[in-house]
Amino acid sequence: MTIRSVFVTIFILIASVASAADTVVGTWKTENGETSVIDHCGANYCIVAKSGRYAGQQIGFFSGRADTYTGRLTDPRTKTTYSGRLTVSGNSLKLRGCATSVLCKTQIWTRLN
């Protein structure tokens, strides 16, 4: 095996480990058919609406790893912020926002990329 192929193999392994750790990062189709992007925001993650009436607005900020994340979700219509929980399962993202522990709403988004 040449040195070049060793470096290529190491690079591929590092890239696959990094992408597995950030399963939440990507473009998502929301329940209303619009798109939002989840990406790194410093050491945390941000959700930004990419299409529709609220395009360009940050609608979430959270932290976590693996498949479960917690933080804040904002309803762009009312500008109300809720405590939130995101759970990734394959190409599905479950978002749960709560005003109190009993007043919660859940949405399921689908990965586009």
CATH assignment at residue 16: 2.40.128.520
Number of domains observed in the structure of the chain: 1
Token digits of residue 104:
């919660």
Give the whole-angstrom CA distance, residue 68 versus residue 79.
24
Of all residues in the chain, what percent carry a pLDDT higher than 70?
81
Q: 97: exposed, middle or buried (C-beta count within 10 Å: 0-12, 13-18, 19+)?
A: buried
Rg value, the chain, Cα: 16
Give the domain range for residue 94: 3-111
Supply the pLDDT for residue 62.
Answer: 96
Look up the pTM and report it: 0.77
Give the whole-angstrom CA distance, residue 52 versus residue 41.
22
Give the whole-angstrom CA distance, residue 67 versus residue 77.
28
36-80 pLDDT, tens digit each: 999 999 999 999 999 999 999 999 999 998 889 999 999 999 999
- The SS3 of residue 86 is strand
Tell me which of 65 and 13 has the higher pLDDT. Answer: 65
| Cβ neighbours of 73 (radius 10 Å) | 22
Supply the pLDDT for residue 2.
Answer: 53
